[in-house]
A and B are shown apart, each in its own frame.
Chain A
Amino acid sequence: MFKILKREEMAEGTVILNEIEAPLIARKAKPGQFVILRANETGERVPLTMADADTEKGTITIIYMVVGKATAVFRDLQVGQGYLDVIGPLGKPTHLENVGTVVCVGGGTGIAVLHPITRALKQKGNHVIGILGARTKELLILEDQMKTASNVLHICTDDGSYGVKGFVTDVLKKVLDSEKVQQVVAIGPVPMMKFVSKMTKEYEVPTLVSLNPIMVDGTGMCGGCRVSVGGQTKFACVDGPEFDGHQVDYDELMLRLQAYCDEEKECYEDYCVLRDAE
């Protein structure tokens, strides 16, 4: 078992942080890589990009949003309990170098994945401008950590409950209009990455996105995580999870993410009914 050493509800009942004992993975993990987790014997294999890894403590950190049965089961796991399986690190690490000015755009739990990349880009000597977006104030995570990891940090919420009212693209446009930016990293919901990439393409700024399609094994064996990048089929698990944002077919990705939405709904509803009955 992979024991949970720390558990935090970053947004009550919906956004959860777990620090998990996994020394072999922690030793190898690099920003941008993911793990696959399974809670119990009947559980689904869930890919999640790591939010952090601590080689000395031998732990990895994940932050996830509860969206269905599998993540609802994760939510039930308390400190001292753990995951039956954790596999990783998987995928290619982020390519990190000093390019000058980098804008790191994060939305929702994508911020969790963006944080270690942002930190590493700053360590490489880049001037890092962070832009964080959330639906509402309660769902905004890692604000302090991102403040430390970047030189400048902008925050916006869809409903205006915190920071600027509006989308990350509104803030990004202002930044791109006022500064010479060499690179953008955008990690968040697919529509966010799509519109960020659309904008940066117009400004001709190279953009990196991190994708999280449906997958089973995470080692290149099932091909479930196929994404079209520049007209070619890639496997997110071994060729990614990061790709050139200007080349990704986001519409196809969104449709593929819906592949099991009916089944997931059925499964989750059954689980909620059972749970309420207890």
Chain B
Amino acid sequence: MKAGLLATICGLAAAWIAFCLLVWGFGESPREIAGQLFEGTWGTAYGTGQVLFKATPLLLTGVAIDLALRAGLFNIGAEGQLAVASLAAAMVGSHLPEGTSALYALPLVLLVAAFAGGLWALVPAVLRARFGAHEVISTIMMNRIADAAIGLVLGLGFALKGTVRTQGLAAGAHVPRLERFLPSLRGSGVSVALVAGVVLALFVGWSYRRTRFGREVSLVGMNPIACGAERIPVRWRLAQALILSGAICGLVSSATVLGYKGYFEQGLGAGAGFGGLAVALLGRGNGVGLVLAALLFGTLQQGGLAINAYVPMELMDVIQGVVITSVALADARVRAVVMRTAKGAFG
């Protein structure tokens, strides 16, 4: 745990250096831009709300990808899973009879979304469990197929004429925004989905240690051969982890379709799948860690918009990659030192 914390700090330091270098290379003052970044994010109530809004999909995909990662699987297909699920949620949500109570509408729509996300992850899961196909390749392919499939479905008449968006949701299928409870967040898109996401992250983090399923999934990730010898159904656990990961990705629609737009349009939520990878690789099986990582990358995303007038916001994607690389690098270094020390003590 301490080593992990050290690695994270190294990663953040590297990210800061990269930020300064890139901003300076672009011909702006890093200190001024950092000031702008803070002003546009945590500086105001609205900015804070927007950070939380951006962090919600990242948190949900982060939890989802982390779950697969515990089992040793890289779910790079979050992008496609959440897109397909969002479309499914919007299609069902918009066809509910007007006046359906939120008590039925919300669970139904979320269930559909989770089901669709899980279904999209089913293909890589089966390919992996049955045929040993590497999930990195198959999930990427499923992302591409999702893009085309969504275009196809929207083109078949599920989109409003001349647009790439679906009809609006029935009133009962909306997730309420937080501004209804905290008036100072007025205007920002953050919704109750954030609260649900935090609860889910803490629950999933807890279940790795405290439930049989979670324990088995993380043990399979550590040593599948030993787990097989202990009669844990390894392939089945791998498939379950990936499908469950897809289902959680489907819940991203609660923040985007149900909590913000009120309909699905092509590209809604895009990018959260890859941002979630960064969150998962930083949070690593720890609920609180996942929440903090989502806040960090949410801040970077919102901050990117705040500084876009001075420095291209694409800078933040680079920073995201730098954070992952340097955390992984620091982690490997720390591990090497620990190994060497252990060898010195016992060898």
Bound pair (A, B): no
Taking Cβ atoms with an 8 Å cutoff, the residues of B that contact A are: none
Taking Cβ atoms with an 8 Å cutoff, the residues of A that contact B are: none
